[in-house]
Amino acid sequence: MELCFATNNQHKLDEVSQLLGDSFKVVSLEAIGCTEELPEEQDTLEGNSLQKAKYVSDKFNINCFADDTGLEVEALGGEPGVHSARYAGEQRNNEDNISLLLEKLSNQSNRSARFRTVITLILGNQIHQFEGIVNGEILKSRRGEKGFGYDPLFLPEGMNRSMAELTSSEKNAISHRGDAIRKLVAFLKQH
């Protein structure tokens, strides 16, 4: 069975392909001829991942799945959440986003946070959603060079290294995206 993963991120494509094995062929947006930016106009991760998956499924008539991820900080009422990539503006700059988050948390003692990913699968006109969460806290300064986004600030629960200090295999074993992908894979293997 062929499935489109609504992304052009090769790392994500490779990770999912390895987990699914030979039973499924995972293709990118580029492979199906989708060159436009996918809409993300909803106010929840669930809504955005559904909007992206539905856009691809409807326009290209293919079974597909899409993901959306956000960092949710307890002391900030769940910010940046669905706006994580654009927290400091439309330029989507990781350093600006990190600086704004640190500024907003400067007087906060509660630094509890979580990364959350929602994957929406559209398979034969049926919609299924899978959620992955990793809990932790926001550090007071950046640590580590690996990863991307807020990884240098995020200390996973029970660990003494930030997400940006973990190897990719260590990160995938505990990550929110990895958790959601494993749930997606388990579902697909049963169906």
Long-range contact list for 169-172, CB < 8 A, 24+ apart?
A: 171/146, 171/147, 172/15
Cα 94 to Cα 115, 151, 163, 169, 175, distances in angstroms: 15, 10, 15, 22, 19
Specify which residues 14 forms β-bridges with: none
User: Is 68 annotated in the active site?
Assistant: yes
Catalytic residue selected from 14, 58, 67, 68: 68
Q: Is the sign of the CA dihedral 71, 176, 148, 53 positive or negative?
A: negative
Tokens standing for 74?
Answer: 């307890």
Q: Confirm if 162 and 152 have CB atoms less than 8 A apart.
A: yes
- Active-site residue numbers? 68
